[in-house]
Amino acid sequence: MGAQWKAKPKEAAANARGKIFGRLVKEIMIAARNGADPDMNPKLRLAVHQAKKASMPKDTLERAIKKGAGLLGETVNFERTTYEGFAPHQVPVIIECLTDNVNRTVAEIRVLFRKGQMGASGSVTWDFDHVGLIEAAPEDGADAELAAIEAGAQDFEPSDEGNSLFITEPTDLDAVCRALPEHGFTVQSAHLGYRPKNPVATLTAAELEEVEAFLEAIDAHDDVQNVYVGLTG
């Protein structure tokens, strides 16, 4: 849970496809501001890869690229904002949003923090490392440790469904993504994110349930793209 909080499978499946597509479309449009050619735009290439993995329809993907690049005569006004603070029981949390109305978003996020504590900029990020996070699936028994070394990742750890999570320097994210397939790993997702330096590990089952409920409410907000939490497990 330390790398990036994810909703439990049952809750995530309820309205997952529409929410995932909505988030991916925003990321694609923001990335496409720097060019509509994924081969020349690393951020767009990663966003397109994740959209294809999520089975986004081709016309939706292409429209998002064109709209973001300004090829449809429309202006993309999304702004990236980050909020930080504490979930219940002083669990640190970082929330990344993409919004077309910052005033609305900050007001609504502040309301969601009523059961926690919203902090000022820098109040929590000091206790996280800003890193590249790459989830990749092994092929034919590929060795994650060897792949991490050869591809230039800083570290790795087990992830969901037998995959591995490779951690990189922020500037190395694209290079490691390109290198991993040469060492037997298929990249499932890749983005910049946060990892806690001192994750909380002492919550009771009841306290953890409170934190989960808080995080689920945050994650359900339409403008929220990613939620990072300082919890073990």
196-228 residue pLDDT tens: 999 999 999 999 999 999 999 999 999 999 999
> Any idea which residue has 């990663």 for tokens?
46
Confidence label for 14 from pLDDT (cuts 50, 70 and 90) = very low
Does this model's pTM top 0.85? My answer is no
In the chain the domains, ranked by start, together with CATH numbers, are 9-68 (1.10.10.200)
Position 1 scores a pLDDT of 44
Q: Distance between CA atoms of 127 and 233, rounded to whole angstroms?
A: 17
Look at 208 and 18; give whichever has higher pLDDT: 208
Tell me: the pLDDT tens digits for 155-200?
999 887 789 999 999 999 989 999 999 999 998 888 889 999 999 9
Query: Of 40, 98, 28, whose CA–CA distance to 65 is shortest?
Result: 28
98 DSSP β-pair partners = 80
Spell out the residues 6+ positions from residue 160 whose beta carbon is closer than 8 angstroms to its own: 135
Q: Distance between CA atoms of 122 and 70, rounded to whole angstroms?
A: 34
Vertex 39: Cα angle to 79 and 35 (nearest 5) = 35
